[in-house]
Amino acid sequence: MSGTSLDGVDAALVDLSQDIPRLVATHYQPYAEPLKEALLALHHSAHDELHQSHLIANILAREYANATQSLLKKAGVDATQVQAIGCHGQTVRHRPEHGYTIQLNNGALLAELCGINVVGDFRSRDIAAGGQGAPLVPAFHDRVLRHPNIHRVILNIGGIANLTDLAPNKTTTGFDSGPGNLLMDAWIAKHQGKAYDKDGAWAASGKVIPALLQRLLDEAFFAAAPPKSTGRDLFNLRWLERQLGGSEAPADVQATLLALTGDSIAAAVQSFCVGTKEIYLCGGGAHNAALVRHLQQALPQRRIQKTEELGIAADWMEAVAFAWLAQQTMQLRPGNLPAVTGAAHPCVLGAIYPA
4 binds, among Mg ion, ligand ADP, none (CB under 5 to 8 A by kind): ligand ADP
Measured from the CB atom, is 194 or 333 closer to ligand ADP? 194
- Alpha-carbon distance 79 to 342, whole Å? 37
Measured from the CB atom, is 39 or 352 closer to ligand ADP? 39
CB of 321 to ligand ADP, least distance (A): 11
Residue from 89, 81, 57, 40 nearest 237 by CA: 40
CB of 318 to Mg ion, least distance (A): 8
Cis omega (within 30 of 0) for bond into 226: no
Dihedral angle of Cα 26, 5, 140, 84, to the nearest 10 degrees? -50
Instruction: Note whether 330 and 352 are within 8 A (CB).
Output: yes
CB of 353 to ligand ADP, least distance (A): 23
199 binds, among Mg ion, ligand ADP, none (CB under 5 to 8 A by kind): ligand ADP
Q: Residue 215 is inside which H or E element, if any? A: helix 210-217
CB of 253 to ligand ADP, least distance (A): 16
Single-letter amino acid, residue 10: D
Measured from the CB atom, is 262 or 283 closer to ligand ADP? 283
Residue 48 Cα to chain centre, angstroms: 28
Binding site for ligand ADP (CB under 6 A): 3-5, 7, 158-159, 181, 185, 196-200, 283-285, 287-288, 318
Quick one: which segment of 3-11, 22-30, 196-204, 270-278 binds Mg ion (CB under 5 A)?
A: 3-11
131 binds, among Mg ion, ligand ADP, none (CB under 5 to 8 A by kind): none
CB of 188 to ligand ADP, least distance (A): 9
CB of 284 to Mg ion, least distance (A): 6
Ranked by CB distance to ligand ADP, the top (closest) residue is 284
Using the CB atoms, write b or e for 108-143: b if 16+ within 10 Å. Answer: ebbbebbebbbbbbbbbbbbebebbbbbbbbbbbbe
Ranked by CB distance to Mg ion, the top (closest) residue is 3
132 binds, among ligand ADP, Mg ion, none (CB under 5 to 8 A by kind): none
Instruction: Note whether 327 and 349 are within 8 A (CB).
Output: no
22 binds, among Mg ion, ligand ADP, none (CB under 5 to 8 A by kind): none
- Alpha-carbon distance 322 to 328, whole Å? 10
Measured from the CB atom, is 31 or 338 closer to ligand ADP? 31
283 is an interface residue for Mg ion by CB under 5 A = no
CB of 171 to ligand ADP, least distance (A): 25
Instruction: Note whether 159 and 6 are within 8 A (CB).
Output: yes
Neighbours of 87 (CB within 10 A): 31
Using the CB atoms, write b or e for 282-311: b if 16+ within 10 Å. Answer: bbbbbbbebbbebbeebbeebebebbeebe
316 binds, among Mg ion, ligand ADP, none (CB under 5 to 8 A by kind): none
Q: Which residues bind Mg ion (CB under 5 A)?
A: 3, 5, 7
